[in-house]
């Protein structure tokens, strides 16, 4: 890990995310903004993969 990533990890507040892994069934709530209106759309799916660590981690749901 380089110095910039280390400092970024130390200074960034950590959100309380639930632990999940590939193969788990999860519900994702997605906030959609259309002009001045906004809504939350949720969908359920299986986690196909997780990659990355920290604030830049991503996951794929199908």
Residue-wise pLDDT tens digits, 40-51: 999 999 999 999
Supply the pTM of this predicted model. Answer: 0.62
pLDDT of residue 1: 60
| Contact predicate 61/46, CB 8 Å | yes
Beta-strand pair 58-61/37-51: antiparallel
Alpha helix positions (H), 1-62: 3-11
Q: Residue 36: which pLDDT band, with cuts at 50, 70 and 90? A: very high
How confident is the model over 12-24, as pLDDT tens digits?
A: 776 777 888 999 9
């Amino acid at each position: 890990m380089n110095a910039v990533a280390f400092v970024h990890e130390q200074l960034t507040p950590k959100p309380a995310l639930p632990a999940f892994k590939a193969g788990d069934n999860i519900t994702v709530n997605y906030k959609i903004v259309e002009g001045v209106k906004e809504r939350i759309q949720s969908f359920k799916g299986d986690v196909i993969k997780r990659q990355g660590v920290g604030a830049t981690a991503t996951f794929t749901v199908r």
